Amino acid sequence: MKYKITTLLATSAAAALLCAGAAWADDQAAPAAAPPAAPASWVSGIKLKAQVEVGVTANPDQPPAGINWGHAFTDRSNEVLLNGVSFTAERDPDTSSKTIDVGFKVQASYGSDARYTQLIGEFNRSINSINQFDLVEANVQAHLPYITAGGMEVKLGQYGTLEGEEVMDPSGNFFYSHSYLFNYGIPLKHTGLMTETHLNPKVDLYLGVDSGVNTFLGSSGGANDNVLHFHGGIGLNLTNLTILATTHIGPEAFTSNGSYPTKAPGNRYLNDIVVTWTVNKSLTAIIDANYTKDDAAKVSAGGVVGYLEYALSPDLSVGLRAEVWADSDNFFVAGYPNHYDFINYEGGYGTYNPAFASKGTTYGELTLGVNYKPQGLPKVFDGMVIRPELRFDDALSGGTPYDVHYDAVSGTYYGTKKSQFTFGLDIVAPIHL
């Protein structure tokens, strides 16, 4: 299985290099984009936004445990979810400034997604409900016109990871549900320092340190508070093609009650590469590949996701996502039936009872989705999107992880089916303040 994963990653990397070569010649003649005009004053650059996401994922199997196996944020079957009500205040630094320019971003959210986006050691179990609170991002940003002609961008605080095509903010994704790779193969966010140096107009270098995967600071922030983790990578920016290769390295040992001892020797390596090819003004093709290896737990996982997104009109787009993701050691993919199970398991807190497959499994996932953006709405709701999707999941290597049941005698969960169909639908409604 590890050979298959390595082959998939190698194939994806080769495809990325071929695409880069094809796009490089076209890029040489492309005129440089004019820099955006600077705001009249620092305060005038501040933007305020609210957003609401509500959705439901129908599962015709009606699993007794209520879990859509392989899903995280859309994990509740046949149940309407308030995925999140978020409020954002931000100011983007002027990246063309010849002097230091400072910005910030603060985003808070309340809803069912917060069960998964909370940092270990911050707001955990503060609300005993499927809807919880999360400080999604809180950071200070600065543009520093030093070192290179393009300068450097600096971010300090809590921020989203560099890794992966999909993101925590639903307005940044095409599909309602998330891939296995996003749910189980990469971090979501970090607490630390990240720098982006523009080596030249086509190449960016990312270097940063943080406290760990989804980890805050302090005595309640997981087992690795005093260990600096590395997070960085390199980005290639052409006219119609971008490549971002990233890694995160550091120990991720749980505290007491975790799956392996606190301060267990060894690092977790999370490696990811995203290739985005804008074929034309209507069609975009994306490949996201990753490989994760944990020396302390002696496990590994990884796979590849492909995306095709086509705009039929300004208000209607169709998308296809295809994925193969292998959890051969049965360590990463799990279901979390109770409100606190994910954060308790991730942080090694108290009691938790996640559902695991009966054996290591290679998962396949195929999702067909539509984005409909109603036109003519009041300006305050501009950008609303309705996202129906049809998804098929399958255990490619055998086993029956889907249609999850609960055994009250043993207190454990078990699946009964090899595959799963779900139909998802959500509405993401920005509210411009």
Q: Which residue, among 100, 54, 102, 62, has the nearest Cα to 78 in the 3D structure?
A: 62
Any domain includes 30: no
Q: Is the pLDDT of residue 262 over 60?
A: no
Q: Is the pLDDT of residue 278 over 50?
A: yes
Residue span of the structural domain in which 410 resides: 2-25+49-432
Q: Measured between alpha carbons, how far is 231 from 208 in angstroms, rounded to an integer?
A: 5
Any domain includes 296: yes
Q: Is the pLDDT of residue 381 over 60?
A: yes
Domain count across the chain? 1
Q: Is the dihedral of CA 123, 186, 56, 276 positive or negative?
A: positive
Q: Is the pLDDT of residue 255 over 80?
A: no
Q: What is the pLDDT of residues 104-117, one digit of tens each?
A: 999 999 999 999 99
Burial class (CB in 10 A: 0-12, 13-18, 19+), 221: buried
Task: Label residue 217 by pLDDT band (50, 70, 90).
Answer: confident
Any domain includes 44: no
Whether the CB-CB separation of 119 and 126 falls below 8 Å is answered with no
Place of tokens 């998964």: 116
Q: What is the mean pLDDT of residues 84-111?
A: 96
Any domain includes 41: no
Any domain includes 39: no
Any domain includes 36: no
CATH number for the domain including 282? 2.40.160.10
Any domain includes 207: yes
Any domain includes 326: yes
End-to-end CA distance of the chain: 50
Place of tokens 């255990």: 395
Give 383 or 404, the one with higher predicted confidence: 404
